Amino acid sequence: MSRTGKIHSLQSFGAVDGPGIRFVVFLSGCPLRCGCCHNPDTWDMGSGEEMSAEEIFNKLIRYKEYFGEEGGITLSGGEPLMQTDFCIELLERCKSAGINTCIDTSGCILNDEVCRLIDLCDLVLLDIKYTNDEDYLRYAGCSYKSVLDFYDLLIQKQKPMWLRQVVLQGLNDTEQNRNELLRLKNESGGLVKKVELLPFRKICQTKYDAMGIEFRFKDIPEGKDGIKLL
């Protein structure tokens, strides 16, 4: 019997969640509470729709011809590392069908099941929110060290990755932060294919209001349009 997962939503033609055209699976559940999170509605795993790996695979395989050489599937969230058994089965099916596989993760969980999942990934989008423990613990809920341990695992397994960061005025828009991201890129032996600096947006404010949750970063100015690369 196919494993089931809690799914927040599906996107058939994603263009910003990895290279090419992607079928994006947004999973429910996240252990972090990031101040800049755009999807607080994905935090609670219990709110997701239960779907099987087979069911989702049967949906995405219909779009295979649109993926081309670079496109494929991206598992996002929420945090896909919270549902590793489900993700492993889904990516195994995709690999067998010759579909490019990718996960978008905070890298906050590391165990044997996560290692198995990483083995099935062609690319990892690693969201590095800050570059010091103090800010990570205060504004996200995990340590920077745990993210570095995940990064080291990707290096060990020789997995290509993109590093991503939402730029927050007054928090991580510093020279020290930029230099640390460049260090990770330069010391990766070419595995870090790009570093994306993403502008902070507050279009999620309506979600927080509807859920009765305080948006901690409501007073931080939005960033300029466009993605900057390091």
CB neighbours of residue 2 within 10 Å:
15
Q: Which residues contact 162 (CB under 8 A, 6 or more apart)?
A: 18, 123, 124, 125, 126, 192, 193, 194, 195, 196
Mean pLDDT of 147-167: 98
**Mind listing the pLDDT tens digit for each residue in 115-142?**
999 999 999 999 999 999 999 999 999 9
Q: What's the rounded Cα separation, in Å, for the pair 185 and 160?
A: 11
Which CATH code, of 3.40.718.10, 3.20.20.70, 3.40.50.2300, 1.10.3470.10, is assigned to 4-165? 3.20.20.70
- pLDDT (0 to 100) of residue 194: 96
Question: Which ranges of 11-106 does DSSP label H, i.e. alpha helix?
Answer: 53-60, 64-67, 84-96
| Domain layout of the chain by residue ranges | 4-165
**Mind listing the pLDDT tens digit for each residue in 63-122?**
999 999 899 999 999 999 999 999 999 999 999 999 999 999 999 999 999 999 999 999
**pLDDT of 226 higher than 90:** no
- pLDDT (0 to 100) of residue 203: 92
- pLDDT (0 to 100) of residue 134: 96
**Mind listing the pLDDT tens digit for each residue in 163-214?**
999 999 999 999 999 999 999 999 999 999 999 999 999 999 999 999 999 9
**Mind listing the pLDDT tens digit for each residue in 43-66?**
999 889 999 999 999 999 999 999
Q: What's the rounded Cα separation, in Å, for the pair 215 and 204?
A: 9
Q: Are 76 and 106 in contact (CB under 8 A)?
A: no
Residue 173 C-alpha from the chain's centroid: 21
Confidence of residue 1 (pLDDT cuts 50, 70, 90): confident
pTM over 0.85: yes
